[in-house]
Structure 1
Amino acid sequence: MQTFLGPDFLLDTAAARHLYHDVAENLPIVDYHNHLIPEQIASDKKWDTIGEIWLAGDHYKWRAMRWAGVPEEKCSGSASFREKFDAFAAVMPKCFGNPLFHWTHLELQRYFGIRDILSPATADMIWEKANAQLAQDSHSARGLLRRFKVEFVGTTDAPCDDLAYHKAIAEDDSINDMVVAPSFRPDAAYKIDMPGFTDFIADLAKVVGYAVDSYEPMMKALIARLDHFVAHGCKATDHGIDVLRFAKPVNVASLDAIIAKRLSGEVLSELEIAQFQTNVFVDLSKAYYERDLVMQLHIGAIRNNNHRFYKTLGPDVGGDSINDLPIATELNGLLGEMDRDGHLPKTVLYHLNPSFNEVIVTAAGNFQDGEIPGKVQAGSGWWFNDQLDGMQRQMTQLSQMGLFSHFIGMLTDSRSFLSFPRHEYFRRLACQMVGRWVEQGHVPNDRELLDGLIRDVCYQNAANWFLAKK
């Protein structure tokens, strides 16, 4: 029987133990998609308490706490961070099987050297030990990134953001050991059916200094903002696609009519929404291709399902879940249209519903062009799937229907500076999978080949995409 989260956690073969401890364990991290706040990196923020750094804005924890009967005041509400921490400590022993149990204790071990199990009995001790360390420079925002050798941080930023904090970071010589780059997230531009579209168009017009009341000025403005991002080091773009639509592209006059109809307050038909979104995606994808940017498509969330939460707390508070709308025709149609003139950029596809893993992998295979290895990626297990079973299924299906060897690996997709043990979680699982292949005779026990495979999947492939110097 293994020790809980001991040195060989998940490593159940000799090959897996070698691959992790001798190859993967100490590799740097390229975290190409997360929701860290650039201002906190620029200011090298310190947190007063573990309650604050753990529980401010973490909807994963809030969902578990609500499930255990914790009132909202102690989740997202007005209770003190000590009260919230104590509530979370009381819930933790009830989280067996949930990835929060592993993540929480990996974070305690890796960041604070605490191997005790979080519970009401240990809460006081853990609070004091963790808070004492958070006061040190080693546990500032940059210190936490450096503890895990994070070389690349890809934040997620709105098109109208001035990127002032990214500029400050780039000009700060004390942080030249890592790259912090903005990622262009233009959701509000193509979600023409959503309430925020008209406000976004007004904000975009203010930023660029001219009217944005038809299609061509809108695209001109978006590309101007994209170039602003590129000037500040942007390597990637990201798109949250709750409903994936596709329609045959239409001419500019038709798009102008759709925009005018929407701005006048009329309700668009599904076809009009699909036509508009398809054209925007195709035109943006060409701009991404021309600037050598990575395009990420996050598909399949159904958001803000709890109307009370949304009304009182807003979005991203734990009221989102997995959708099951079909995507195969739409995804292949959209990628095919982007690729029609050879302008499909490097692309990462994610779906929140694991039943679509095979659809994602086989769609990615349709658009490999023999020029860039793994040009279209089946992205890692996302959100509800960045746990053991979800990551294992994604990697298994990728290896069986595509090429695992060209996978760009894991990302945190997190708002927390304490989330980087998720890369360890992923690396251990990847080594477990390959180690079992060796044990079962599925692959040769060739250390040179296997070491290279793990190094590539855990670090080098992503470094090649996001850190050209590597």
Structure 2
Amino acid sequence: MNTSFISDNFLLTNRFAEELYHQYAAKMPIIDYHNHLSPKDISDNRFFPNITKLWIDGDHYKWRAIRTLGISEKYVTGNAGDAEKFMKWAETVPYTVRNPLYHWTHLELNRYFNIDELLTANNAKKIYDRTSEVLSKPEYSCQSLISKMNVELLCTTEDPTDNLKYHRKLRSSDFKTKVTTAFRPDRALQIEKEEFNEYLNSLEQISDKHIHTYQDLCDVLRSRIGFFHENGCKLSDHGLEYVPFAEHTEKEVAELFKKRRGGDEVSEIQAVKFKTSLLIFLSEEYHSLGWVQQFHLGALRNNNSRKLRLLGPDTGWDSIGDWLQAQSLSRFLNRLDSTDKLTKTIIYNLNPRDNEVMASMIGNFNDGSVKGKIQFGSGWWFLDQKDGMEKQLNALSNIGLISCFIGMLTDSRSFLSFPRHEYFRRILCNLFGQEMANGQLPQETEWIGKIIQDICYYNAKAYFNF
């Protein structure tokens, strides 16, 4: 039996890092302010029948690794049995060395199941059987898995057409973790998409209002924002290639919307004008309610058209894009700030070449009204690994104030993903601990420990003010 490398001092390379983590970071509650967990699963307090359903289904990080090893799609999204799929994942794990999956896999097995072994094809059946035996116990329900990780608040992500049924049920339940939502109107912005009008029809249905004009669309979205706000929402989220910005008039946006609503296509520049107008409108609405707005920038999605056609979106065919980000983002933020309608904003970057761009951009609009008003969000998606996190932390430290940072989030669909907060905290503490050891920072553990606790918990608690 091979013993796992997940020790008490995993990723901590000196005594300062160890003290910062164990005495200051480890005990902090988790505020997971952006994820894609199912509110239905949380509300229903779902139990999973086996570890494949809990841990592998829907996880495109794992899917990409399995495919890369040359394993058939049958064992990824295909018709193989759950046990077979787990065996193929276990066969893959030893070959993920130096990929964050290797760390996450063993950290999660340890933290949730007390399994201190390296997962391989040899022990896969034993681990599959062992985990399946316990998953029916009360401590492995969705709510229990969340509570086990000391999660104080989590924020799922919903489309404007969502009726928030399960969030309302959770608000009236006795579940101690606060569960809220983020408003994500991406599909309302995608005027160039074939399914745009179909989506607007669904907005009409949920709002019981017609959308014939651009003003109708704004009115309906305002009403949906109000509905979300009444149900405890304080955040929005946008997944964009880049923040659009093009000068436009109300008249031309109204005309091009009417044209598109009638079934005609719009040009690329017309689409950018529409998106600019609608995104400014939405951001002003967020500001009026004191929401936090989030922008996830830079994903190049659905690259493999054959697999998209066969399997659909969000099945592991996305990558890092290389759009120019700075100028349009600056103009957009400046437009809102010029009328003092720029709300608290988090900007997440997917291309590491743009880390310094984002770290410097936030300083242009931190106006002294709120601590850390504009945030350079944590490394996400392809960058939520050790190197990506360190690069984001270093860029923010070098150009901004790391002490004002609101820390980590999972951005995950998995109920076993919360140890990523531990992973981040260990990396953070080691970064500070190394500089304390080599004389780049004072060896004042109490003060540095306070900074660590602020980043892990207190800054986010104050920033979101739930």
Q: Above 0.5 in TM-score?
A: yes
SS of residue paired to 1:156:
strand
CA distance in 2, matches of 1:388, 1:326: 25
Corresponding residue number in structure 2 for 1:452: 450
Corresponding residue number in structure 1 for 2:336: 338
**Structure 1 contact 350–378 (Cα < 8 Å) conserved:** yes
**Structure 1 contact 377–407 (Cα < 8 Å) conserved:** yes
Corresponding residue number in structure 1 for 2:288: 290
Corresponding residue number in structure 2 for 1:201: 200
Corresponding residue number in structure 2 for 1:162: 163
SS of residue paired to 2:378:
coil
* Aligned 1:365-444 pairs, distance under 5 A: 365-444=363-442
> Is 208-217 or 409-418 further displaced after alignment?
208-217
* Aligned 1:8-407 pairs, distance under 5 A: 8-173=9-174, 175=175, 177-251=176-250, 253-407=251-405
SS of residue paired to 1:349:
strand
> Is 157-166 or 458-467 further displaced after alignment?
458-467
**Structure 1 contact 427–458 (Cα < 8 Å) conserved:** yes
CA distance in 2, matches of 1:110, 1:3: 12
CA distance in 2, matches of 1:439, 1:320: 40
SS of residue paired to 1:315:
coil
CA distance in 1, matches of 2:448, 2:299: 35
CA distance in 2, matches of 1:30, 1:109: 22
Deviation per CA, 1:21-47, whole angstroms, max 9, x where unpaired?
A: 001112110000000000000000000
CA distance in 2, matches of 1:328, 1:466: 26
- Which amino acid in structure 1 is aligned with residue 295 of structure 2? L
CA distance in 2, matches of 1:220, 1:246: 22
**Structure 1 contact 380–394 (Cα < 8 Å) conserved:** yes
> Is 266-275 or 160-169 further displaced after alignment?
266-275
**Structure 2 contact 4–116 (Cα < 8 Å) conserved:** no
- Which amino acid in structure 1 is aligned with residue 125 of structure 2? D
CA distance in 2, matches of 1:249, 1:434: 47
Distance 1:3 1:53, change over 3 A: closer
TM superposition shift of 1:267? 2.5
CA distance in 1, matches of 2:122, 2:298: 40
SS of residue paired to 1:21:
helix
TM superposition shift of 1:265? 2.9
Corresponding residue number in structure 1 for 2:5: 4
SS of residue paired to 1:155:
strand
SS of residue paired to 2:158:
coil
CA distance in 2, matches of 1:351, 1:261: 34
**Structure 1 contact 61–100 (Cα < 8 Å) conserved:** yes
Distance 1:306 1:193, change over 3 A: same
**Structure 1 contact 5–106 (Cα < 8 Å) conserved:** yes
**Structure 2 contact 292–344 (Cα < 8 Å) conserved:** yes
Deviation per CA, 1:218-249, whole angstroms, max 9, x where unpaired?
A: 11100110111111111211001024321124
CA distance in 2, matches of 1:196, 1:333: 29
Deviation per CA, 1:131-169, whole angstroms, max 9, x where unpaired?
A: 122111111100000110111110010001000000111
CA distance in 1, matches of 2:166, 2:21: 36
SS of residue paired to 1:445:
coil
**Structure 1 contact 236–295 (Cα < 8 Å) conserved:** yes
CA distance in 1, matches of 2:322, 2:39: 34
CA distance in 2, matches of 1:99, 1:358: 23
Structure 2 unaligned blocks of 5 or more: none
TM superposition shift of 1:447? 2.4
- Which amino acid in structure 2 is aligned with residue 361 of structure 1? A
CA distance in 2, matches of 1:345, 1:265: 35
**Structure 1 contact 55–81 (Cα < 8 Å) conserved:** no
**Structure 2 contact 379–385 (Cα < 8 Å) conserved:** yes
TM superposition shift of 1:467? 4.1
CA distance in 2, matches of 1:49, 1:361: 42
> Is 226-235 or 391-400 further displaced after alignment?
226-235
Distance 1:234 1:378, change over 3 A: same
**Structure 1 contact 152–467 (Cα < 8 Å) conserved:** no
- Which amino acid in structure 1 is aligned with residue 410 of structure 2? T
Deviation per CA, 1:295-317, whole angstroms, max 9, x where unpaired?
A: 00001111111111111111000
**Structure 2 contact 243–332 (Cα < 8 Å) conserved:** no
**Structure 1 contact 398–404 (Cα < 8 Å) conserved:** yes
> Is 262-271 or 186-195 further displaced after alignment?
262-271
> Is 425-434 or 195-204 further displaced after alignment?
195-204
CA distance in 2, matches of 1:238, 1:5: 34
> Is 309-318 or 257-266 further displaced after alignment?
257-266
CA distance in 2, matches of 1:250, 1:168: 43
TM superposition shift of 1:195? 2.1
Q: How many residues align?
A: 464
**Structure 1 contact 184–237 (Cα < 8 Å) conserved:** yes
**Structure 2 contact 214–258 (Cα < 8 Å) conserved:** no
- Which amino acid in structure 2 is aligned with residue 198 of structure 1? N
TM superposition shift of 1:466? 2.7
Between the aligned residues of both structures, percent identity stands at 41
- Which amino acid in structure 2 is aligned with residue 117 of structure 1? L
**Structure 1 contact 288–295 (Cα < 8 Å) conserved:** yes
CA distance in 2, matches of 1:231, 1:73: 44
TM superposition shift of 1:3? 7.2
**Structure 2 contact 241–323 (Cα < 8 Å) conserved:** no
**Structure 2 contact 4–117 (Cα < 8 Å) conserved:** no
CA distance in 1, matches of 2:195, 2:12: 47
